[in-house]
A and B are shown apart, each in its own frame.
Chain A
Amino acid sequence: MRHLAVHFLLFLKASALSFGGLGGLPILQQDLALRNVPHLNRLLGQALAVGRLSPGPNGLYVVSVGYQMDGVLGGIAGGLALAIPPFFVLLVAIWYAKVAHLKRTANALMALGFALTGLLGFTSWQIIRGSSTDVFGWLAGFAGFVVSARFRPHPLLLIGVTALLGIAIYR
């Protein structure tokens, strides 16, 4: 139970300090790596795949990470951790009118966007590097990047085709 509470706090921290569904991924990856979670990149990759296949908002990979670490209660903890921080928007709504028009607000959000690109880019690089066992794995990572960036097809289709390719190549 203590592990569950600690993991919930880590999920909550990642969610509360991030902007957007995947924004918390670098924070969570760093925190779980510090705790020597075994096969972390594989676990995160699996969770990202489940999150991509699930309907609903971005960021549900946290629910899958929670389940894989602590079972159903871990999944619920992940869902709760995702659900709590957005209530902050009720406070933001009060003061938004005062700062929305400021150039400094736009500049701050722009700089945060660059930082998130770097952080998320590095985390995804680690997932590709940690899970690619041969040249086909590297090619899959590269293709996933190019196809998603260029064509934006449905993730369900992409993941399904990749899974079939994996079975065909390694059987």
Chain B
Amino acid sequence: MLEVALAFTRVGLLSFGGGSASQLLMRKELVWKHSWITDVEYNRVWQLSKLTVGIQQIGQVLLYGRRLAGRKGMGVAFAGFMLPSVILTIVMSIVLVAVIGNHYVDDALRLVIPWTGGMTMATALQMWNPAVPQAARQWLRIAAQGLIVLICSILVGVVHVPVPLVMVSALTLGALLP
């Protein structure tokens, strides 16, 4: 049990850089280092976690923890993964709020905030991940997908439709497609 807790704590504390870093470290701990599960089992749970709400990696941690040591395993894996990260984030926020007002920090933030906006926009593009079109027909498909993306932006930004309504509509329309 302690080993499970330590493994997930290492994943939570060392995965700087978001989702891909977490995936790599989690696979390293569970599959390569401890051989607790196989690659196939790892991938199956990964796929499954994509269907849950909220942060998918937390869903993955819950399922791996349960698979390794039942409910207790689920609890220690979850705590090991989440607690250090949340505490560190609060500490970093405390530091940030304490230094706001300092000229150097304010100057730095004048570029850092728009920069993080750009990074977030890149994340949005990666969710879509359009392939480079090779034929005219593929151009049409990309254009149609881009139109859906644009319509969703306009619905929220211009028409002020509630975001959850747009998401549920997209899910429903997608499920209705033949």
Q: Enumerate chain A interface residues (CB-CB to B < 8 A).
A: 13, 15-22, 24-27, 30, 41-42, 45-60, 63-64, 67-68, 72, 75-76, 79, 82-90, 92-93, 96, 100, 104-105, 107-128, 131-133, 136-138, 140-149, 154-156, 158-159, 162-167, 169-171
Contacts and interface: CB of A to CB of B under 8 A. Distances in A.
A31 to B, nearest CB: 9
B118 interface: yes
Contacts of B124: 22, 116-118, 120-121, 124
Given A45-B117, A141-B114, 17 more contacts: A15-B53, A18-B167, A45-B112, A46-B100, A46-B113, A54-B88, A75-B86, A83-B58, A85-B54, A89-B59, A90-B62, A105-B175, A114-B128, A117-B149, A128-B118, A162-B112, A163-B108
A169 B120 contact: no
B58 A82 contact: yes
A60 B81 CA distance: 12
A74 B86 CA distance: 12
A117 B12 contact: no
Nearest to B162: A30
A170 B107 contact: yes
B103 to A, nearest CB: 8
B50 interface: yes
B156 interface: yes
Contact of A122 (B49, B84, B157): B157
B37 to A, nearest CB: 15
B85 A57 contact: yes
Chain B facing A: main interface SS: helix
Closest 5 CB pairs of A and B: A144-B118, A56-B85, A111-B174, A118-B152, A45-B113
Contact of B111 (A41, A105, A147, A165): A165
A30 B59 contact: no
A60 B86 contact: yes
Interface string B99-117: 0100010011111111111
Chain A facing B: main interface SS: helix
B40 interface: no
Given A63-B90, A89-B49, A131-B113, A155 B118 contact: no
Interface string B20-60: 00100000000000000000000000011111111111111
Contacts of A143: 115, 118
B122 A148 contact: yes
21 contacts: A13-B164, A21-B18, A56-B85, A57-B12, A63-B93, A67-B94, A68-B93, A76-B90, A83-B82, A92-B52, A105-B175, A114-B145, A114-B170, A115-B167, A118-B151, A123-B120, A124-B121, A126-B157, A128-B114, A144-B114, A156-B17
